Amino acid sequence: MKDLKNEIVDILSKKDIGLSEDEIYDLIEIPPNQDMGDFSIPCFTLAKKFRKNPAIIAKELKEGIESKYFEKIDNVNAYLNFYVNKNYFEKEVLNEILDKKLDYGRSDMGNGKNIIIEYSSPNIAKPFHIGHIRTTIIGDVLKRIYKFLGYNTIAINYIGDYGTQFGIMIAAYKLWGDDDKINKDPINELLNLYVKYNAEAEKNPEMMDDARDYFNKLENGDEEATKLWNWFKDISLREFERVYKLLDVEFDNFHGEAYNSKWIPDVIEELKEKNLLIEDDGAYIVDLKKYDLTPAIIIKSNGSSTYLTRDIATAINRKREYDFNKNIYVVATQQNLHFKQLKKVLELMGYDFFDDCIHIGFGMVSMKDGVMSTRKGKVIFLEDVLNKSIEKTLNIIEERKTDLENKEEIAKIVGIGAVKFQELYNSRIKDYVFDWDEVLNFDGETGPYVQYTYARAKSILRKAEFNEDQAKGDFEFDKLTTDEEYTLIKSLQSFKDTLVRAKDKCEPSFVTRKVTEIAANFNRYYNSSPILVDDPDLRNQRVLLTYATSIVIKLGLSLLGIDTVEKM
């Protein structure tokens, strides 16, 4: 059924009030209590606009409007209040969920549109640490939501496999490398070499020249350098793969910096032709002073390309390869400046698609007990955090002394789900502190809480001896008359619109919060309304409501990349 806020938008945009649909949408409020209706439009802004008393505006707006979705539309002082026709509403919503099941809310709005989502993008031969969780999980969820809404998504892992740090790696390996050690514990050992080299180079700066030489060799296709680089890359990817598997995160390709560097010479040529490149102290830059940005360095004074140059080449090539509608970069806000420069250079080069390149930033994550810095070598590996979460969950399950059979499997689903959920709960732009007590709290606004609610719903359905065939048909829901039932159904209905808003703003937390709200509303309903009652109609309607809720929770979690368990 139609989203009710959109219905209000439609009703009001027929009136000539000089507001866009989005503006009307944003005006809609949810009144603090049901006596004042389900939705409300405050008329203060309009009053200012038309220089009229807001109460008069509210009264005028009411004239002649009606809709089958609302049983009453009323003006009270400066507000226009909408009262939903509950019985009609509940019936529409629940029958739609029972009919569509896990396709509830699926859409074809994205048909024919290519959306690149670039996420994770770790650097080769560096640890995959807790900081990487953000881009990896947020990107994965954006992909799932876009897909569900019909878009053709291309998931790219833009691995950092290029740059002077590979010169450092090779130089360090040539000095101290031990193949056995590296094969045993690749990332740690490569990291040790890297850290050691940086430390030594602080004392002997000329070591950095050696490193740069090795990188130049690599750029020029030197056999030994290339072989080592490929090896570092293979063993790193194999390590990353384990984490991606644990997280159930996949990519369509791993076209990283090296892959795209093929087009760097073309970019430089083009920048020259377009008179954008100027020499500056031996380096080549694009001057962005006019736009309040620091210069975009294209070629360093030592002749090598930069991270930015590679991104310019990548964006142009992506447009060619995928003709994207949007090219989304899920990258920390620390790189805001970089993406501003990137877009500006693309714009100056005359590429209209610069505006479809979208940087989706996010804040930092820190552990309650320490920070990370790759250069000093003190890092918290993401894989360790995930395994610890599984282990801690298993302990909790065992303490509860339940008779669950597949405890290990459940611990894995709940443990991983808990970490993901926590990651997705706050708006992405905020910094957050990773805290075990919060992540694994079964009663808070957490993954385990929502998964537990799902398992509870499934347990009620088992007690009711419900099977899915009983949910086929068109049902009456006239016996669902309590506030708790209505509130729950309202949250189920708004799930659909939440997905679209989450897509528009690239904000997975909208979905996480909606699913949490549904779980809380379900628990309130469950605590106030006995389900397995004698009245067969009431019982049946409440069982179907329970089933519909379980579907939407499962669907919501699956879009967050989180699994459910039937018992917990």
Q: How many CA atoms lie within 13 A of 112 on its CB side?
A: 1
Cβ-contact 448, 422 below 8 angstroms: no
- Tokens 């996420």 locate to 119
Q: Which is nearer to ligand ARG, 348 or 360 (CB)?
A: 360
Q: Which is nearer to ligand ARG, 118 or 219 (CB)?
A: 118
Q: Which residues contact 167 (CB under 8 A, 6 or more apart)?
A: 210, 211, 212, 213, 214, 215, 216, 218
Q: Which residue stretch of 119-127, 166-174, 368-376, 537-545 sits at the interface with ligand ARG (rule: CB under 6 A)?
A: 119-127
Q: Which is nearer to ligand ARG, 121 or 451 (CB)?
A: 121
Strand pairing class (152-156; 277-280): unpaired
- Between the two ends of the chain, the Cα-to-Cα distance in Å is 33
Task: Supply the minimum distance, in Å, between the C-beta of residue 257 and ligand ARG.
Answer: 7
Q: Does 123 bind ligand ARG (CB under 6 A)?
A: yes
Q: Does 169 bind ligand ARG (CB under 6 A)?
A: no
Judge whether 126 counts as a catalytic residue: yes
Task: Supply the minimum distance, in Å, between the C-beta of residue 135 and ligand ARG.
Answer: 8
Catalytic residue among 86, 91, 129, 554: 129
Q: Which residues contact 426 (CB under 8 A, 6 or more apart)?
A: 432, 509
Q: Give the residue, chosen from 42, 105, 160, 361, that forms a contact with ligand ARG under the rule CB under 6 A.
A: 160
Q: Does 121 bind ligand ARG (CB under 6 A)?
A: yes
Q: Which residue stretch of 114-122, 146-154, 280-288, 524-532 sits at the interface with ligand ARG (rule: CB under 6 A)?
A: 114-122
Q: Which is nearer to ligand ARG, 124 or 489 (CB)?
A: 124
Per-residue binder mask for ligand ARG (CB under 6 A), 282-311, x = binder: -----------------------------x
Burial (CB count <10 Å: 0-12, 13-18, 19+), residue 314: buried
Q: Give the residue, chosen from 9, 286, 313, 331, that forms a contact with ligand ARG under the rule CB under 6 A.
A: 331
Among 552, 560, 533, which Cα is nearest to 454's? 552
Among 18, 20, 24, which Cα is nearest to 6's? 24
Judge whether 359 counts as a catalytic residue: no
Q: Does 329 bind ligand ARG (CB under 6 A)?
A: yes
Burial (CB count <10 Å: 0-12, 13-18, 19+), residue 487: middle
Q: Classify each residue of 412-433 as buried b or exposed e, where b means 16 or more C-beta atoms within 10 Å of its C-beta.
A: bbbbbbbbbbbbbbebbeeebe
Task: Supply the minimum distance, in Å, between the C-beta of residue 105 and ligand ARG.
Answer: 30
Q: What does the block give as tokens for 484?
A: 């708790």
Q: Give the residue, chosen from 79, 82, 148, 158, that forms a contact with ligand ARG under the rule CB under 6 A.
A: 158
Q: Which is nearer to ligand ARG, 195 or 404 (CB)?
A: 195
- For ligand ARG (CB under 6 A), the number of binding residues is 9
By Cβ distance, which residue is nearest to ligand ARG?
Answer: 160
Q: Which residue stretch of 26-34, 118-126, 231-239, 453-461 sits at the interface with ligand ARG (rule: CB under 6 A)?
A: 118-126
Q: Which is nearer to ligand ARG, 165 or 498 (CB)?
A: 165
- Tokens 């989502």 locate to 117
Q: Which is nearer to ligand ARG, 160 or 556 (CB)?
A: 160
Task: Supply the minimum distance, in Å, between the C-beta of residue 160 and ligand ARG.
Answer: 3
Helix (H, G, I), strand (E, B) or coil at 166: helix
Catalytic residue among 86, 91, 132, 458: 132
Q: Which residue stretch of 65-73, 117-125, 389-397, 504-512 sits at the interface with ligand ARG (rule: CB under 6 A)?
A: 117-125
Cβ-contact 497, 504 below 8 angstroms: no
Catalytic residue among 126, 326, 359, 496: 126
Judge whether 338 counts as a catalytic residue: no
CA distance 233 to 159: 10
CA distance 412 to 325: 37
Q: Which residues bind ligand ARG (CB under 6 A)?
A: 118, 121-123, 158, 160, 311, 329, 331
State the catalytic residues.
126, 129, 132
